[in-house]
Amino acid sequence: MSYYIFLKRLTQMNETSIKLIGNPASPYTRKMIAYLRYKRIPHQVIWGDVSDVLKPMNIDPPKPILLPVFLLPRNGKLTAVTDSTPLIEEFENSFPDRSVYPEDQSLRFINYVLEDFGDEWCTKYMFHYRWHFAEDADNAGTLLPLGIMNNISDDELAFFKDNFAKRQIDRLWVVGSNDETAPFIDQSYKSFLEILENHLKIQPYLLGSSPSSCDFSVYGQLTQLIGFDPTPRKIAHELAPRVIGWVRSLEDRSGLEVKENKLTLSDLPQTIHDLFKEMSTSYVPTMIANKKAIEEGSDEWEIDLDKGKWKQKSFPYQAKCLAWIKEEYEKLDTDKKDEVFSFLQLNHCESLVTSNE
Ligand SMILES: N[C@@H](CCC(=O)N[C@@H](CS)C(=O)NCC(=O)O)C(=O)O
């Protein structure tokens, strides 16, 4: 669908631009706002509770309700939809200018994996630091409701704070954050920051001279880690000043004039190899163990990682993510498949595409 048809469909529903509902403390909301700004796609952000916003509009909430929620035309009706990665793909098809997908096919696959790593692994840093330590949980409990509405009474704030914080703390084990995994998550976050800091010394974005969708996914999580939650913010200020500068500026890159990005897989700097090596000790084995648990029908799973034990609840969505990675790989031409496989193998990540065999 072209830009023209997309906007025409919105106009037919009396909408002049894309609406999304979110919270400033939601990493995926921040991912999508920064993406829309970079793309110069007209949009309106609604900070609010999804059900409260949708009710007067007579629009059914999506199931499950995840942030952000977009209001987009579906079968002639304005419909509430979620899930940032496929939505970016839909927008890229309609708004091809300032593409966030690398031109080189192999690199496009690497971008796909890195976008998923940002969404599915870096979010563990975010959720862990937000609710594991008392200082962070107290900060988030207060600021989350205030991000939607600042003029609530102190009593209402205390009510939301207790309820929301309790609910999220109870869910920590869902993402694998507990006393046993806390040191592992902490070490992984620090090593991720160090690698990104080194990378940003030599390139402005993860895959070259302009942002790719993976930049926005990593950025989304980092908006919280360096800008909202006290513990990871302290760590980032000690270890990674460039990462902080990068996150602040990626918030609005609408003014960046994009030069042609002719990077190919073989041009990738050592730092991206280092990042994949780090992923091979965390993101890759956990995604695979999760998928296996789902296939076996287990509710939870446990594995030994190089630097400690990992235990979490089985998460069907992440099994789907791994299947999508494999699908993206299968779409590649044979020579590109070989090139990508060698890259993954060199960095001990080949099981991402062989785990189904
Ligand atoms: N895969 C989704 C994930 C979105 C997501 O998990 N959003 C979080 C907030 S940042 C959420 O709504 N979680 C549900 C909850 O906390 O109840 C995406 O990429 O948009």
Are residue 50 and residue 119 in the same domain, yes or no? no
DSSP assignment of 242-289: HHHHHHHHHTT-TTPPPPP----GGG--HHHHHHHHHHTTTHHHHHHH
- What pLDDT, in 10s, does the model give residues 335-356? 999 999 999 999 999 999 996 5
Atom of ligand 1 nearest to the CA of 29: 10
What is the four-CA torsion angle of 194, 24, 322, 72, rounded to 10 degrees?
-140
Q: In this structure, what token pair is assigned to residue 162?
A: 């207790």
The span from the CA of 105 to the CA of 111, in Å, is 10
Q: How many domains does the chain have?
A: 2
Instruction: Indicate whether 211 belongs to any domain.
Output: yes
Q: Does residue 240 sit in the same domain as residue 324?
A: yes
Q: Which atom of ligand 1 is nearest to the CA of 67?
A: 12
Distance of alpha carbon 110 from alpha carbon 171, whole angstroms: 31
Length of the chain: 357
Tell me how far apart the alpha carbons of residues 353 and 327 are, in angstroms, rounded to a whole number. 9
Q: How far is the CA of 192 from the centre of ligand 1 (A)?
A: 22
Q: Choose the final residue of a domain: 71, 94, 117.
A: 94
CA–CA separation, 70 vs 135, rounded Å?
32
Report which of 33, 22, 18 is spatially closest to residue 79, judged by C-alpha positions: 18
Pocket test for ligand 1, best of 67, 87, 123 (most atoms within 8 A of CB): 67
User: Do 63 and 115 share a structural domain?
Assistant: no
Task: Show which of 72, 94, 116 is a domain's final residue.
Answer: 94
Name the residue with the closest Cα to ligand 1, atom 2: 83
Check whether residue 54 and residue 202 sit in a common domain.
no
pLDDT tens-digit series, residues 3-12: 778 888 888 8
Q: Are residues 286 and 220 in the same domain?
A: yes
Out of 142-151, 214-223, 265-274, 292-301, pick the least confident: 142-151
CATH number, domain of 27, equals 3.40.30.10
Token pair listed for 337: 């498949």
Same-domain pairing of 336 and 314: yes
User: Does some domain include residue 116?
Assistant: yes
pTM for the full predicted model? 0.96
Confidence of residue 1 (pLDDT cuts 50, 70, 90): confident
Same domain, 51 and 117: no
DSSP bridge partners of 73: 78
Give the residue numbers spanning the domain of 216.
105-128+176-252+263-354
68 and 182, same domain (yes or no)? no
Q: Which residues line ligand 1 (CB under 6 A)?
A: 26-28, 66-67, 82-85, 119
Residue 288, in any domain of the structure: yes
**Are both 267 and 317 inside the same structural domain?**
yes
**Closest ligand 1 atom, residue 317 Cα:** 1
Q: Are residues 181 and 329 in the same domain?
A: yes
Q: What tens digit of pLDDT does each residue of 41-75 get?
A: 999 999 999 999 999 999 999 999 999 999 999 99
